[in-house]
Structure 1
Amino acid sequence: MSPNSDVIAPFLLMRAFRGLVDAVHESLADAGFPGIRAQHEFALQAIGAGCTSVQLGERLGVTKQAATKTAHSLEAMGLITRETNTSDRRERTLTITTAGRRLLALSADAFCDELARWRRVAGDDAVTTTLTTLSQFGVGGRSDVDLSDWI
């Protein structure tokens, strides 16, 4: 099938996304963060300055149970802490650790490095046009980190 065929568009987008993410994860593994998956990075982005598992679930578009499971994984990897809320002992506040912030910084650098490679291969104008075009789609009420269909 020709890469200019509209039917192949979703496959090209998935392949490009997968290649981008795989390159970043390889870089993270080399930097001491093996086993990181896209859901971990999306969850860290969603946690931001801190939130509860319920809020994480809302931000990711997943159930509280899925968010709690992801939080447990992140905690086991040392990327977040879960601290008891003093006013409601049932509630835990998720906070990104120093290691989690380092992972996010390394991840951002790796994404920039991979996009720089794309620019070398395809040219600045082509990559800028592609990114500008992609930014105009997929806004149907979902947040940028909504993984409700993936986690």
Structure 2
Amino acid sequence: MSAMGDGAAERESYGFELPLLLFAGFRSIIDQLHAELAEQGHPDARPAHGFALQAVGLQGASASEVGRRLGVSKQAAGKTIDRLEALGYVSRVEDPADARRKLVRLTPRGVDMLARSAAVFERLRADWVARLGEDRVRELERDLRTMVPAGFFRLDVAGWFGQ
């Protein structure tokens, strides 16, 4: 009897497993990242913070731009920016091009977290390569790029991970 109880022959996998496995793979990487970041001086960092810091970028951005990049409202972006500012990852400064506007800029602490995150991601990918092989990991990445719609790298998952 199948896992679905319909009497059909056993199957190796079911459609509902794919999104669960993809999400579990994502979570395992993100959870490992944040455990290491905590050990490296960033115990308050959350997944939403990394996405938001990427949206701020090295050149800085307005709260509206951060919201657009994250796929959230300006108000939601503002709340995330407030939290990042309280943690010392960003600061608000006058926009040299428009005195009426504030820019959000990464602080040295924010740049440090992004640099450490990048290094940990490289090591975690290397762990996958060690277990699965370089060719298989490259194939997996290529397959996922094929299946993900073009332009889908919106960072609108902040609400999933808490702030």
Question: Match for residue 56 of structure 1?
Answer: 66
Hey, what does 2:31 align to over in structure 1?
22
CA spacing shift, 1:132–1:144, aligned 2, 3 Å: farther
**What is the TM-score when the length of structure 2 is the normalising length?**
0.83
Contact 1:28 1:34 in 2 (8 A): yes
**Per-residue Cα deviation, 1:3-57 (whole angstroms, up to 9, x for no partner):** 6433311000000000000111111000000121111001111111111001100
Q: Please provide the CA RMSD for this pair.
A: 2.0
Larger Rg, first or second structure (1 or 2):
2
Cα distance between partner residues in 2 of 1:146 and 1:99? 24
Paired residues of 2:61 and 2:103 also in contact (CA < 8 A): yes
What stretches of structure 1 move > 6 A for 4+ residues in a row?
A: none
Helix, strand or coil at the partner of 2:105: strand
Q: Tell me the distance in 1 between the aligned counterparts of 2:34 and 2:12.
A: 27
Tell whether 2:75 aligns with 1:65: yes
Offset, 1:123? 1.3
**Structure 2 unaligned runs (5+)?**
4-10
1:80 aligned partner: 90
Choose the corresponding residue for 1:47, options 56, 61, 66: 56
Counterpart secondary structure, 1:95: strand
Whole-Å separation in 2 of the counterparts to 1:107 and 1:3 = 35
Secondary structure of the equivalent of 1:143? coil
Identity %: 35
Shift of 1:136: 1.9
1:12 equivalent in structure 2: 21
**SS state at 1:82 partner:** strand
- Is 2:106 aligned against 1:96? yes
Corresponding residue SS for 1:92: strand
Secondary structure class of the residue paired with 2:42: coil
Q: Tell me the number of residue pairs that the alignment of Structure 1 and Structure 2 aligns.
A: 150
CA contact (8 A) 2:92 2:104 kept: yes
Decide whether aligned partners of structure 1 residues 43 and 127 sit closer, same or farther in structure 2, where only a CA change above 3 A counts: same
Unaligned runs of 5+ in 1: none
SS at match of 2:128: helix
The 8 Å contact of residues 66 and 77 in structure 2, kept in 1 or not, is answered as: yes
